Amino acid sequence: MSRQPAVSGRILIVDDDERQRTDMAAMLADCDFDMQVAADGQEALERLAAFNADVIVSDLVMPRMDGFELLRHLKEHGDLTPAIALTAFGSMEKALSVVHDLKAFWFLEKPVEPRAFKTLLDRAIRYKRSLQKNDELKRELSLHGVLGDMVGTSPAMQQIFTQIRQVAPTSAPVLICGESGTGKELVAREIHKCSPRSDGPFVAINAAALPETLIESELFGHEKGAFTGAMERSAGCFEQAHGGTLFLDEIGEMPSSTQPKLLRVLEDLRVRRLGGKHEIAVDARVLAATSQDLATHLREELYYRLSVFQIVVPPLREHKEDIPPIADIMLQNLNKKHGTRVAGVDTEVLDLLQHHDWPGNVRELRNLLERAAIIAGEGLVGLKDLSSPVFGVNPAAYTRPSPAYESPVLLRPGQPLTKIEEAYIKLTLEHVRGNRKLAAEMLGISLRTLQNRIAELREEENAISPGS
Ligand SMILES: Nc1ncnc2c1ncn2[C@@H]1O[C@H](COP(=O)(O)OP(=O)(O)OP(=O)(O)O)[C@@H](O)[C@H]1O
Ligand SMILES: [Mg+2]
């Protein structure tokens, strides 16, 4: 079958046995690799000072600095260059310890089988490329594309940033519209933070989360005994937000009987507590949020009063180019929250994120990344770390992974290449809920090739199961 085009890359081979070094170099002679060699860990570190390797292939037992020490040194210095450890035949325990404890990319048993070696190098180089892409992104983002906690380099998000900067210094009310999870509350918080009121309070009240009977007392406050259960005098949100910002979330859910009272407060900048005799002057800047369809539930006068300035936050599917930078910042924050050390997402995951429609918008992305970051723990988030039902993968499957699909575990010398292909094809199909077109795109092969390969696999399965 046709495969993804081979990648070019820089490889450092570390082995004290000169014969091994030349054999490996000869094996890779037909590949587009820039290769350097070193005779032990010490020499490898000296080479790495000037040679920006994509992959390090290292023997374990060597004089001076051995492979274990080299890997430990790289790990301790935060060097994420993937390293492939060469292990003696049969030393499975050592092999697993370099992968698990020293974070080697993978191991290969000697003698090295050329096709498995090349497949593994190819994956390792692609992994390194993803890491580099993440680094570039971080640099780019540090220059522009961030407003407080909001991220976005797309024209749509840049326009939102401009609107926030324009309206923040004024006291005008703002109506923020958008689907659920698009970042409406975040916009409100940024307006507050960029405003001259940033030292004052930011008070949020959600009209959809409060019973109708309580909304008015929450908004305007009440005097002791104003209604059954009003044991103490209480200041409402308007008073609490004095000198700051009041955020009326889900304003479309505001009972229509309350809307005229709210409008009056907005006009007069005075509130009267329930059961109160006097009006109290309040200086709160009002921001309101709603989904666009619920904006029609607002009485006309209130709608016009609130929408002096309107910001429409686009759904994530309309600014998918922001997914990589948003994911990047979110992972940095999630690392802090969970003590993980995730560096980013790999290219396959990125591809999947770009193909998804995101009905739950940025919140859905955040939830997905949070689960994935916890599962991955460190390095790059890969397909195996995605446990979202969105992608048709049952989360339970990840607590008890089927052994055949434990990712590149099958990449071991002695495994026929067809078996590795088979596992990847199945894994990919599983992740895209059987969408062959998408799977073919991800595997870098044509749809026809994928279909032929699936048919071949079915034939093979039938051939080995006599009952069928
Ligand atoms: N542009 C962005 N950059 C970074 N994070 C974002 C961005 N937009 C949204 N988020 C994050 O996505 C999540 C959802 O955002 P938020 O709560 O503001 O959405 P919302 O529109 O108010 O949703 P709902 O309508 O369901 O209340 C939050 O964790 C928020 O920090
Ligand atoms: Mg919200």
> 190 or 8: which carries more pLDDT confidence?
190
> Tell me, what's the pLDDT at 394?
37
Structure-block tokens of residue 436: 């062959």
Is residue 150 included in any domain, yes or no?
Answer: no
Same-domain check for residues 302 and 365: no
Q: Any idea what the CATH number is for the domain that residue 29 is in?
A: 3.40.50.2300
Q: Which residues line ligand 1 (CB under 6 A)?
A: 149-152, 178, 180-186, 326, 362-363, 366
Structure-block tokens of residue 307: 């929408």
Structure-block tokens of residue 53: 């390797």
Q: How many CA atoms lie within 13 A of 48 on its CB side?
A: 26
> Of the residues 317, 347, 373, which one is the last residue of a structural domain?
317
> Tell me, what's the pLDDT at 422?
78
Is residue 344 included in any domain, yes or no?
Answer: yes
The band of 412, judged by pLDDT with boundaries at 50, 70 and 90, is low
Cβ atoms 276, 239 nearer than 8 A: no
Q: Which helix (H) or strand (E) holds 358?
A: none
- The strand pair at 234-235 and 245-249 is best described as unpaired
Same-domain check for residues 303 and 438: no
Which ligand has its closest atom nearest to the C-alpha of 183? 1
Span of 242-251, 285-294, 385-394, 432-441 with lowest mean pLDDT: 385-394
Same-domain check for residues 312 and 268: yes
Q: How many CA atoms lie within 13 A of 109 on its CB side?
A: 12
Same-domain check for residues 175 and 297: yes
User: Dihedral (C-alpha) 139, 140, 145, 150: value to the nearest 10 degrees?
Assistant: -40
Same-domain check for residues 263 and 367: no
Q: Any idea what the CATH number is for the domain that residue 277 is in?
A: 3.40.50.300
* Location of structure tokens 């948003």: 326
Closest CA to 251 of 204, 197, 191: 204
Q: What single DSSP character describes residue 111? A: S
Sign of the Cα torsion 42, 48, 51, 53 reads positive
CA distance 375 to 377: 6
Per-residue pLDDT of 151-164, as tens digits, reads 999 999 999 999 99
Which ligand has its closest atom nearest to the C-alpha of 319? 1
Q: Which helix (H) or strand (E) holds 266?
A: helix 259-268
- Start-end of H helices in 31-113: 41-50, 67-76, 92-100
Residue percentage of the chain with pLDDT more than 70: 88
Same-domain check for residues 322 and 453: yes
Q: How many domains does the chain have?
A: 3
Q: What single DSSP character describes residue 305? A: H
Cis peptide before 389 (omega within 30 of 0): no
Q: What single DSSP character describes residue 274? A: B
Same-domain check for residues 83 and 173: no
Is residue 148 included in any domain, yes or no?
Answer: no
Radius of gyration over every alpha carbon of the chain, rounded to an integer in angstroms: 29
Is residue 240 included in any domain, yes or no?
Answer: yes
How many angstroms does the Cα of residue 392 sit away from the middle of ligand 2? 27
Closest CA to 246 of 298, 289, 284, 302: 284
At residue 406, does pLDDT exceed 70? Answer: no
Same-domain check for residues 404 and 435: yes
Same-domain check for residues 17 and 107: yes
The band of 188, judged by pLDDT with boundaries at 50, 70 and 90, is very high
How many angstroms does the Cα of residue 192 sit away from the middle of ligand 2? 15
> Of the residues 317, 335, 358, which one is the last residue of a structural domain?
317
The band of 415, judged by pLDDT with boundaries at 50, 70 and 90, is low
- Ligand 1: which residue has its CA nearest to atom 23? 181
How many angstroms does the Cα of residue 424 sit away from the middle of ligand 2? 40
What does pTM read for this prediction? 0.66
Is residue 90 included in any domain, yes or no?
Answer: yes
Q: How many CA atoms lie within 13 A of 272 on its CB side?
A: 10
Average pLDDT along the chain: 85
Same-domain check for residues 90 and 205: no
Can you tell me which atom of ligand 1 is nearest the CA of 157? 1
How many angstroms does the Cα of residue 212 sit away from the middle of ligand 2? 19
How many angstroms does the Cα of residue 14 sit away from the middle of ligand 2? 54
Is residue 362 included in any domain, yes or no?
Answer: yes
How many angstroms does the Cα of residue 338 sit away from the middle of ligand 2? 23
The whole domain housing 131 covers: 9-142
Can you tell me which atom of ligand 1 is nearest the CA of 178? 21
Same-domain check for residues 38 and 64: yes
CA distance 72 to 60: 12
Is residue 416 included in any domain, yes or no?
Answer: yes
- Ligand 1: which residue has its CA nearest to atom 24? 180
> Of the residues 302, 317, 332, which one is the last residue of a structural domain?
317
> Tell me, what's the pLDDT at 143?
63
Query: What's the mean pLDDT in 392-407?
Result: 35
> Tell me, what's the pLDDT at 90?
72
At residue 428, does pLDDT exceed 90? Answer: no
Q: Which residues make up the environment of ion ligand 2, defined by Cβ < 5 Å?
A: 185
Is residue 15 included in any domain, yes or no?
Answer: yes
> Which of 137, 157, 186 best tests ligand 1's pocket when mutated (most atoms within 8 Å of CB)?
186
Same-domain check for residues 310 and 167: yes
Q: Any idea what the CATH number is for the domain that residue 437 is in?
A: 1.10.8.60
> Tell me, what's the pLDDT at 413?
58
